Amino acid sequence: MDLGLKDKIIIVTGGAKGIGAAISAVLAEEGAFPVIIGRNEADNLQHLAHIGKGGQVTAELTGPEACQAAVATIVNQYGRIDGLVNNAGINDGVGLESGSYEGFMQSLHRNVVHYYLIAHHALPYLKKSKGPIVNITSKTAETGQGNTSGYAAANGGRNALTREWAVELLPYSIRVNAVVVSESWTPLYESWINTFADKENKLANIVEGIPLEKRMTTPEEIAQMVTFLLSEKSSHTTGQLIHVDGGYVHLDRALK
């Protein structure tokens, strides 16, 4: 199926690692031109060499000025923006009891403030192209996780912004959707699993609770949905929170 993405300039924040890397790769496979915004230039360039197509801007997105400058750089280099994937973030373990005001605010800047800022600065160009937005979000906003107040709050914000922007951008025919991630094996997920004393048993228990095929969702499966939502084949889909999770969030946990 031709998704109509050939040579489209698509921003992917955090597009060099984990789920973002899979999104950039699938976009390149579909003929799009992914532009990675990431904090590590070496990682960005290494992934671009791997996928064989795309561009990059090195930026630390927790800085508001950096968000504006990153978008300006992309426009100066490529002349347009045809879509945006807000993906960058980290489950940083800022809890209620053990956290602090400073840590909580930092978590929001790491995980949701730049979603707003990148979209805000890209919007004039998305209006011209009618370019869609896809926000990557996490189940933590719906299920909770424990000891991650900042990340959970940020993901609740990501979900709310998805619906809010879908409404606000209706006059411009800009579609806004979210892909909600549950259990997907990435370098960050591996780092989290490694914090447990019995990490093998912890991972086995998690996988056993995933209804469909008792396996984790691959980053590529998430990327395929993101790519579809960016394409003209999803031309009447907006304001949706789509769970690509093997039924993890919504199906009965008693399933065996």
Q: Report the catalytic residues.
A: 151
What are 67's two structure tokens? 């968000």
Distance (Å, whole) CA 187 – CA 77: 31
What region does 78 belong to: left with phi over 0, alpha with psi -120 to 50, or beta? alpha
Radius of gyration of the chain (CA): 18
Distance (Å, whole) CA 109 – CA 148: 14
SS3 state of residue 97: coil
Residue 65, classified by CB atoms within 10 Å of its CB into exposed (0-12), middle (13-18) or buried (19+), is exposed
Q: 53 phi and psi, to 5 degrees?
A: -165, 140
Q: How many residues would you count in the chain? A: 256
